[in-house]
Amino acid sequence: MNTVVTSVDPQWVVKALCALAQINRLNVFRLLVVAGQDGMYPSDMAVALGVPSNSLSFHLKELLRCELVSQEREGRNLRYRANLSRMQNLLVYLTDECCNGQPCFKLPSI
Q: What is the pLDDT of residues 52-104, one digit of tens each?
A: 999 999 999 999 999 999 999 999 999 999 999 999 999 888 887 666 666 66
CATH number of 10-98: 1.10.10.10
Helix, strand, or coil (residue 92) = helix
What percentage of the chain exceeds 90 in pLDDT? 73
Instruction: Name 3's Cβ contacts closer than 8 Å, sequence gap at least 6.
Output: 106
Instruction: Name 60's Cβ contacts closer than 8 Å, sequence gap at least 6.
Output: 28, 42, 69, 71, 80
* Every domain of the chain and the residues it spans: 10-98
* CA 90 vs CA 11, 18, 37, 54, 64: distances in Å: 11, 12, 20, 28, 15
